[in-house]
Amino acid sequence: MDKIILTNNTEIEVLQMPSLGSITVSVADVAAIQALKDQLTADKLEEVTIKNDAGNTTGIYASLALQEPWTIKWTDDGILTTFGLREKTDIEKQMDTINKEQSVQNGAIEDLGAAVSDIAMGR
């Protein structure tokens, strides 16, 4: 069985994956679908490795995004759910960079504000 390995080393077993845009997994119940969706966040899709059942790496992808919608099919053995991943667009990648830089700037501004307050208070 193929595996998707997320940035945080979470492994997701895959039943079928003809492409990144069509990945089918088997889950036990609806709660497991939500748990799977919760794993497929932007930070965990920064670097994704695909391994086949022999354990060989068949693909390494960077900056992926989760596609909607998901399809769900009930079977006697559980639930088959199919979702897709895609490479982020250049604009999405630029927005990620801007957001990371803004986060660093916000931290620096907070630190500066605290230092100025300490000086003003004579600490």
Query: Do residues 75 and 97 share a domain?
Result: no
pLDDT value of position 81: 96
Q: Whole-angstrom Cα distance, residue 19 to residue 62? A: 15
CB 17 within 8 A of CB 83: no
- My answer on whether 110 and 75 are in the same domain is no
SS3 label, residue 52: coil
Per DSSP, the residues of 23-71 read: EEEEESSHHHHHHHHHH--GGGGSEEEEE-TTS-EEEEEESEEEEEEEE
Q: How confident is the model at residue 25 (pLDDT cuts 50, 70, 90)?
A: very high
Mark whether 32 and 58 lie in a shared domain.
yes
Same domain, yes or no: 83 and 112: no
Q: Same domain, yes or no, for 38 and 76?
A: yes
Please state which of the ranges 10-19, 22-31, 70-79, 94-103 shows the lowest mean pLDDT. 94-103
pTM listed for this prediction: 0.77
Q: Quick one: 61 and 13 in the same domain? A: yes
* Residues of the domain holding 104: 89-123
Report which of 41, 13, 8 is spatially closest to residue 27, judged by C-alpha positions.
13
DSSP H or E run through 53: none
For residues 101 and 123, membership in a common domain is answered with yes
| Same domain for 84 and 101 | no
**pLDDT score for 49:** 97
Nearest to 59, CA basis, from 100, 119, 118, 5: 5
Interval 45-104: pLDDT, tens: 999 999 999 999 999 999 999 998 899 999 988 899 999 999 999 999 999 889 888 888
9 and 32 belong to one structural domain = yes
Are residues 63 and 9 part of one domain? yes
Looking at the structure, tell me whether residues 84 and 94 fall in a common domain.
no
Domain count, the chain: 2
- Answer yes or no: do 71 and 40 share one domain: yes
**CB-CB contact of 19 with 29 (8 Å):** no
